[in-house]
Amino acid sequence: MASAILTIDLDAVGANWRALDRLSGPEVQTAAVVKADAYGLGVTRVARALAQAGARRFFVAQAEEGAAVRQALGPGPQISVLSGHMSGDTEMIHDLDLTPMLNSLEQITRHLESLPGHPFGVQLDTGLNRLGVEMLEWQAVAAIIIDAGPALLMSHLACADEPDHPLNLAQLEAFHEMTDGTGLPRSLAATGGIQLGPKYHFDLTRPGIGLYGGLPFATAAPAVTLSLPVIQTREVDPGESVGYGCTWVAESTAIIATLAAGYADGLPRTLSNTAMLWDGDIPCPIVGRVSMDLITVDITHLREIPRSLDILGPHQTVDELAEAAGTIGYELLTALGPRYTRRYLEHSA
């Protein structure tokens, strides 16, 4: 098999949700963010595992993603759409019982006029300056919106992974100013916000990356292993180069393994000549450039030629690999490509 194998531990995903649920506290509902195909891991299987763990509310980025979650889970769980009520989404929102998180006065008008009585929430901008109704707009329309009975008022922290950042407290204060006294359910914290403590938790938390083993949830159970098959090996003489651009030249005789994965599979070129793969507990360096479909690795020090090497696993988390690539775990995880053979572990099933 020339396909790399991406193994997703659904038990670990469920355990991470339960751990974040405990951190959120007994009076707080814990949702699950499954946007971007459950961060690249396959929303059908992941959403079902999270529902089995206890999640009853799910967040997606787009209505189309909500349709996939509804198909996976059936009626019952609440599915909130973070992009809100976009033009052309009305029928899907109605038919699939999706809950749009309205982000602007335009969306509020669209929703209340086209789907009166249909559940909705409102996203408020408290300082991230990305999505949401701003303070002055909210003050102008809050009474009307509150009377319509939104299911949730929410905002999103910009610097929750930096606990001492002053914007965290500033956003918390702004959120209080915009929502205190409404009597409505509120949500401010995602994975990082949960770890900032109870004053950020309100009525509902929305963990995302922490469910899948990523920072800033440092104690998360690892959820992903990625093994790349060895297609070919060759002996390279001193002075010979490997890969495009001659960026690595052998100083002594070396055994080079060519592995089936590359930047078309979400492994960026910035890993070239920097990252490690692993044969059990033995590190093996990438040599030469990462190309579209292939990676070359120095295995001279191994006793036997392996069938595959791990680029994600017990010795290298997605965040550690991301650091080598000069990016973040979110980007690497969601970029994992469609060519991987996905295998799911679910011992509790």
Query: DSSP states of 82-133 as a string?
Result: TT-S-TT-HHHHHHTTEEEEE-SHHHHHHHHHHSTT---EEEB-SS--SSSB
CA–CA dist 313, 230 (Å, integer)? 17
Structural domain contains residue 300: yes
Instruction: For residues 20 and 129, state if they share a domain.
Output: yes
- What are the distances in angstroms from CA 41 to CA 12, 128, 297, 333? 13, 27, 26, 8
Is 114 inside any structural domain? yes
- Answer yes or no: is 218 within a domain: no
Among residues 188, 212, 236, the one where a domain terminates is 212
Instruction: State whether 126 and 14 are in the same domain.
Output: yes
Give the percent of the chain with pLDDT over 90.
98
- Locate tokens 């093996």: which residue? 284
User: Which residues constitute the domain of residue 94?
Assistant: 10-212
The reply to whether 116 and 229 lie within a common domain is no
Determine, yes or no, domain membership for 1. Answer: no
The answer to whether position 308 is within a domain reads yes
Domain shared by 23 and 165, yes or no: yes
| Residue pair 257/299 in contact by the 8 Å Cβ criterion | yes
Output the pLDDT for position 347.
76
In a domain, 249, yes or no: yes
Q: What is the pLDDT of residue 291?
A: 98
Residues 335 and 301 in one domain: yes
Q: What is the CATH number for 229?
A: 2.40.37.10
Q: Verify that 201 and 53 share a domain, yes or no.
A: yes
DSSP string across 49-89: HHHHHT--EEEESSHHHHHHHHHHH-SSSEEEETT-S-TT-
Residue 186 and residue 64 share a domain: yes
Number of domains forming the structure of the chain: 2
Looking at residue 1, its pLDDT comes to 57
Q: Within this chain, do residues 200 and 248 fall inside the same structural domain, yes or no?
A: no
Is residue 288 domain-shared with residue 195, that is, in the same domain? no
166 and 49 assigned to the same domain: yes
267 CA to centre of own chain: 16
Q: What CATH number is associated with residue 203?
A: 3.20.20.10
Q: 221 vs 5, 146, 277, 288, CA distance in Å? A: 19, 40, 20, 32
Residue ranges for the chain with pLDDT beneath 70? 1, 348-349
Catalytic residues: 35, 244
Does some domain include residue 109?
yes
Tell me if 148 is assigned to some domain. yes
End residue of a domain, out of 164, 185, 212 = 212
Last residue of a domain, one of 212, 242, 277: 212
Terminal Cα-to-Cα distance of the chain (whole angstroms): 27
Question: Are both 317 and 175 inside the same structural domain?
Answer: no
Q: Mark whether 56 and 192 lie in a shared domain.
A: yes
Tell me, what's the pLDDT at 343? 97
